[in-house]
Amino acid sequence: MERLAIEGLPIRYADRGEGTAVVLLHGFVGSADYWERIVPLLEGHFRCIVPDLLGHGESEAPPGPYTIERMADGVAELLDALGIEQAVLLGHSMGGYTALSFAERYPNRLSAFGLIHSMPLPDDAAGKEKRDAVAERVLREGVRPFVEQSAPNWFAPDNAKRMRAELARVQEIGFATKPEGAAGAALAMRDRPDRGQVIRDSELPVLLIAGSEDGIAPPEKAFAAENSRTVKRTIEGAGHMSLFEAPQELARQIASFVESL
């Protein structure tokens, strides 16, 4: 893993492989390590750029406010620093929200983009209340109790029972998130707008991947907006974490999409 400064703050990222630049963005209380089972399957074909987003992993957690737009701007600054003019940008969950914001703000920097277990829809009123509660909880208790309680729900029910090592790894990654970073990101997700029109108006290829058992971003929400170049794929039996539940299939779908460009 390597480091450089974004907004004058240190961030950690991986830069592996050669060829088409594929930027992989992790989800809430994740890190670049969320992609540790995917990158080895892709790096022989593409250049994989995998950062820790603002406040996550080993990247700095500065004082707020955090916004999804700020995260997108950080990705643009990372591409600038690496001399990458155009990339394929794929985001998991919160990373998908960031990818959509990037597509809205920097469309000319993309050859394609995609959302993995994510959605273009904003939080409803109940969702916003949950974000507030999460932010308050992690600042009060630290991140560990939230991650211990929540992570099993990110897997399909059967997978949560049998994929003990995978679940433990997701929790381990989550425990490393700084409370200030987790709280800031929760409020950033709370405040994100509806970006369905970004997909509908885009002339770029768009990859949408859902898990058939995902209770957080179910297929009907993951596929809520599309354009004429949208590729929609459902990973059967996966919940919200196909990066760990079905890494071979997820990597296959990503590779197929990028190779088609």
User: Looking at the predicted structure, is the pLDDT value of residue 231 above 90?
Assistant: yes
User: Looking at the predicted structure, is the pLDDT value of residue 8 above 80?
Assistant: no
DSSP at 178: -
Residue 248 exposed, middle or buried by CB count within 10 Å (0-12, 13-18, 19+): exposed
Q: Give percent above pLDDT 70 in the chain.
A: 100
What is each CA distance from 187 to 54, 76, 182, 198, 247, in whole angstroms?
13, 21, 9, 22, 29
CA nearest neighbour of 189 among 103, 90, 64: 64
Dihedral class, residue 161 (left if φ above 0, else alpha if ψ from -120 to 50, else beta): alpha
Query: Looking at residue 9, what is its pLDDT?
Result: 78
Per-residue pLDDT reduced to its tens digit, 22-80 = 999 999 999 999 999 999 999 999 999 999 999 999 998 988 899 999 999 999 999 99
Residue 25 exposed, middle or buried by CB count within 10 Å (0-12, 13-18, 19+): buried
- Sequence spans of domains, the chain: 2-259
| Residue appearing with tokens 């425990």 | 175
Domain 2-259 is in which class? alpha beta
CA nearest neighbour of 90 among 82, 104, 76, 100: 100
Per-residue pLDDT reduced to its tens digit, 182-215 = 999 999 999 999 999 999 999 999 999 999 999 9
Tokens in use for 54?
A: 């603002």
Per-residue pLDDT reduced to its tens digit, 113-124 = 999 999 999 999
Rounded to the nearest angstrom, the gap between the alpha carbon of residue 249 and the centroid of all alpha carbons in its chain is: 17
